[in-house]
Structures are given as C-alpha cells and as structure tokens.
Amino acid sequence: MRVLILGGDGYLGWPTAMYFSNRGYDVTVVDNYMRRNACTELDVGMLYPVP
C-alpha cells in the first residue's frame, strides 16, 4: 500500500513516515522546508540538525 505524507520533514510528519515505512508501506514524503528556510534566513538554531 502507498502512503503520502505531507509535511514529512516536520515534527509529526517524520515519525509518521517512519512508522508506516517500518511496517512495509511504500511511503512518499513531500515537504517544502518552509520552516527550515525561515530558520536559516532569521539565523536562529533548529531544534535538531539536518542530516
């Protein structure tokens, strides 16, 4: 089964994507990185680093 996760780089999207992936689903993640881009432009730290 296929699952589409919108906002997959976010607080809820990432663990949700991992949950379905670990259970064998075909996961597609879509994210526009708006929050990460805003953090970079404002020169504020992120809660967790980008791998």
Question: How do the pLDDT tens digits run along the chain, 51 residues long?
Answer: 999 999 888 888 889 999 999 999 999 999 887 777 777 777 777 666 655
pLDDT, position 10: 80
Other CB atoms within a 10 A radius of the CB of residue 23 amount to 10
The reply to whether 48 falls in a domain is no
The reply to whether 22 falls in a domain is yes
Verdict on whether the full-model pTM lies above 0.75 = no
**How many domains is the chain built from?**
1
Domain extent at residue 15: 2-42
pLDDT, position 41: 78
What is the spatial distance between Cα 27 and Cα 10, in angstroms, rounded to a whole number? Answer: 15
